[in-house]
Amino acid sequence: MRIAVFDTKRYDRSGLEEAAGKFGYELTFFEDRLNHNTVPLVAGHDVVCPFVNDRLDRAVLEQMAKLDVRHVALRCAGFNGVDIVAAAELGIAVTRVPAYSPEAVAEHVFALLLTLVRKTHRAYQRVREGNFSLDGLVGFNLHGRTFGVIGAGKIGVAAMNIAKGFGCRVLAYDRYPSAERAAQIGCEFVDIDTLLAQSDIISLHAPLTAETHHLINATALAKMKHGSVIINTSRGGLIDTKALIKSLKTGQLAGVGLDVYEYEEGVFFEDLSHQALKDDMLARLTTFPNVMITSHQGFLTDEALAAIAHTVMENIADYQNGQPLVNAVKPGA
């Protein structure tokens, strides 16, 4: 079984190679993203393994089908870069990694949050410059605050459990609220307007769909508490970036932590330090002292990388052996 692995970096490869070795699979690594220009590279392979910013639209999938590639084994949870309907029509199976290490992403939520509310990023720079003043570094306690989670899946639940440990009141909004889950975690499932109005901190953990695109828009931001904080470690398109910048300028938001960004493709995961940012909105966001941006690294732990690689290879093995694809993505997902 030959697998073409796209959009790879050095940190990807060791875990994937180790996992593939257990199954006897051969990997070909490409640093390029899979898209219209690079799809010819899949020739001679049985499976493609794309990442979050690869683009597999109908035209790309049709080319893959002509090259007899019938399995897309995503190594991420998100699948908005794949035309799922076209894949089904072409007989191409699509699998994903729905849960690799929920704790890895949830813990990154609090890395961003604590940096923002205690201003440690600013304190770090001051001390390096010999400035030990505390002026302007007043933060706030998490204990006693209301922590709202939009999307109560595995990562959302992990974030809520951490928030409970900090002594937060926890609110959750989900399409499928669960009284049992609420009792287990000690959270309250509420409608989204209640969550927006009452939360001091809002953490996004919803998938990106047509329904959730720009879920956090100007209307939603206006409903939030003045001086609240929003953290997004899920998908960039959940937030309307233009509206977000306006809320930061007016002071409606006290802080924003982004591990994902609406237009991150071609920017995140790349070293662009030798050139000016071409994205004016991203450049503007980097100027705010109360905005923390990381480059989609919530998944980047040893444990998560190993879990991702193992699940990818298990998905491929199930497909190869004609077993049910427990992590399949189908139309309507």
> Which residues are identified as catalytic?
235, 264, 296
- CA torsion through residues 106, 107, 108, 112, sign: positive
Phi and psi of 182, rounded to 5°?
-60, -40
Tell me the two tokens of residue 190.
Answer: 């509420």
| Rounded Cα distance, 159 and 152, in Å | 9
Say if CB 92 and CB 69 are below 8 A apart. yes
23 CB-contact burial (10 Å; exposed 0-12 / middle 13-18 / buried 19+): middle
The terminus-to-terminus CA distance of the chain in angstroms comes to: 28
| Rounded Cα distance, 176 and 325, in Å | 24
| Rounded Cα distance, 51 and 178, in Å | 31
Strand 201-204 and strand 228-232: the pairing is parallel
- The strand pairing partners of 98, in sequence order, are none
Taking CA 23 as the corner, what is the angle to CA 22 and CA 25, rounded to the nearest 5 degrees? 115
Count the neighbouring beta carbons within 10 Å of the beta carbon of residue 125.
10
| Rounded Cα distance, 61 and 81, in Å | 12
Q: How many residues appear in the chain?
A: 333
Say if CB 185 and CB 149 are below 8 A apart. no
